[in-house]
Amino acid sequence: MSIRPILTAPDPRLKAVSQPVAGIDAELRTLIADMIETMYDADGIGLAAIQVGAAKRLLVLDIDQKDGGRNPRVFINPVITAASEETAVMEEGCLSVPEIWDEVERPVRITLEYMDGEGAQQTLEADGLLATCLQHEMDHLDGVLFLDHLSKLKRSMALKKLAKAKKLKAAG
Ligand code: K2U
Ligand code: ZN
């Protein structure tokens, strides 16, 4: 297993629409293991494949990390098949948008169809943090960042802050 570099905005690769996974092979299993290790190393609770430069409809998450316990979950070719009309606002961050946090409104409940890491087709009813995280990661699969849900002004200010931070980091 390896820790892979996480792409950060405004990297144009993050805007790619990821392609369906054709099948579970050794290469995909390595990518999944690397994504899980990379997520934990970055103290994240979710990670989409595009964030490590792989434009595949694949995400991992672990919202159960308590006292060092780990419960990583794998979602291959996930599709949201239903979403509640009821919405809620939650503050979101993103490993690809460092040091920026803001509120995003999303449906509170979703139904998700996906293939799990063992290749079994699953249906999941999610709410709370799991629903928010899944929707955040699903956005990544379509090249959408949580910034894209913000006002033009807030998004512009965030991108300017990110570009400045990247410039300072490059200058050492
Ligand atoms: O996509 C990601 O970068 C993973 C997100 C998952 C998430 C976002 C919003 C709401 C729920 C989950 C990150 O794990 S959010 C937490 C975070 C952000 C920056 C640095 C460390 C942790
Ligand atoms: Zn994210």
pTM value?
0.95
Q: Is residue 2 part of a domain?
A: no
Nearest one of 149, 154, 106 to 129, comparing CA atoms:
106
pLDDT tens figures, 78-88: 999 999 999 99
Q: Is residue 3 part of a domain?
A: no
Q: Is residue 16 part of a domain?
A: yes
**Best residue among 50, 95, 106, 147 to mutate for probing ligand 1, ranked by most atoms within 8 Å of CB:** 95
Partners of 112 in the beta sheet?
A: 80, 124
Dihedral pair phi/psi, residue 115, rounded to 5°: -105, 135
Q: Tell me, using a 6 A CB cutoff, whether residue 95 lines ligand 1.
A: yes
Helix (H) or strand (E) holding 124: strand 121-127
Q: Is residue 60 part of a domain?
A: yes
CA of 54 to the centre of ligand 2 (A): 14
pLDDT tens figures, 115-155: 999 999 999 999 999 999 999 999 999 999 999 999 999 99
CA of 28 to the centre of ligand 1 (A): 22
Question: Which atom number of ligand 1 is nearest to the Cα of residue 45?
Answer: 14
Q: What is the largest CA-CA distance in the chain?
A: 48
| Domain assignment of residue 123, given as a range | 12-166
Q: Which ligand sits closest to the CA of 104?
A: 1
Coil, strand, or helix at residue 135?
helix
Mean pLDDT of 44-55: 98
Q: Is residue 171 part of a domain?
A: no
Q: Is residue 6 part of a domain?
A: no
Is residue 131 classed exposed, middle or buried when 0-12, 13-18 and 19+ CB atoms within 10 A define those classes?
buried
Q: Is residue 41 part of a domain?
A: yes
137 carries an active-site annotation: yes
* 107 vs 102: CA distance, rounded Å: 17
Number of compact structural domains in the chain: 1
CATH number assigned to the domain comprising residue 138: 3.90.45.10
Mean pLDDT of 42-53: 98
Q: Is residue 61 part of a domain?
A: yes
Q: Which ligand sits closest to the CA of 59?
A: 1
Nearest-CA residue for atom 20 of ligand 1: 95
